[in-house]
Amino acid sequence: MDTPLLTEDGFPRSDIDVAQVRMTRARIIRLRNDYRALLGELELALHDHHAALRTLGPAAGSATAAAAAPVVEVPFAVVNDVSHSSPAFEAGLVRGDRIIHFGSVHAGNHRRLAELAAVVQANVGSPIAIDLVRNVTETGIDTRMRLRLVPRRDWGGKGMLGCHILPL
């Protein structure tokens, strides 16, 4: 966007299509302006929405929030592999664990595990609460557990978790 389109002598550069670059730059500028305007409208709508919730009172607001964001209690991913001495290993994850919640991620919002990766990136060095279901082989009963996983880059292996997670 900032590269000059003219040579030092003031002539159009011969190594690029100057007309095409100018049209592309103008389109990018229009898209950026549209994006800013859309974000402004969204911000105003959110302010109006939250102001309306405040006027309804705390009971109505919590009921609306509960209806808008249902708690999803079904597993959405399974741990396929855990590396020895990894953050996942230290947290207690084992192969076969079925993940119900990974921080704020659940079956309703994981987007094929893309949100899980975003949570990991945002929480490097900070603990992430993981709710999971583990089949205890001695009893054959599924047990619900909560673990705390701290993603790290310096553990000596691939990734920040040291485990391979697959969607269900």
What is the per-residue pLDDT across 119-156, written as a single tens digit (0 to 9) for each? 888 888 889 999 999 887 767 788 888 999 999 988 88
Cβ atoms of 123 and 151 closer than 8 Å: yes
Backbone angles phi, psi at 165, to 5 degrees: -115, 135
For residues 42-55, give the mean pLDDT: 84
Reply yes or no on whether the pLDDT at 31 is more than 90.
Answer: yes
User: How many degrees, rounded to 5, is the angle at CA 97 between CA 111 and CA 164?
Assistant: 60
Alpha helices in the chain (DSSP H): 18-56, 58-68, 87-91, 114-122
CB 149 within 8 A of CB 127: yes
**In this predicted structure, what is the pLDDT of residue 51?**
81
Band the pLDDT of 79: cuts 50, 70, 90.
Answer: very high
- pLDDT at position 143 is 86
Which amino acid is located at 30 in the chain? R
pLDDT at 59: 53
Report percent pLDDT > 90 for the chain: 27
Residue 73 has what pLDDT? 81
DSSP state, residue 112: T
Q: Which residue has the higher pLDDT, 153 or 71?
A: 153
Query: 116, exposed or middle or buried, with CB in 10 Å at 0-12, 13-18, 19+?
Result: buried
CB 97 within 8 A of CB 132: yes
Q: Where are the domains of the chain?
A: 18-68, 77-167
54 residue type, one letter: R
User: pTM for the whole thing?
Assistant: 0.55
Q: Is residue 66 predicted with pLDDT exceeding 70?
A: no
- Which numeric CATH code is attached to 77-167? 2.30.42.10
Place of tokens 């993603």: 151
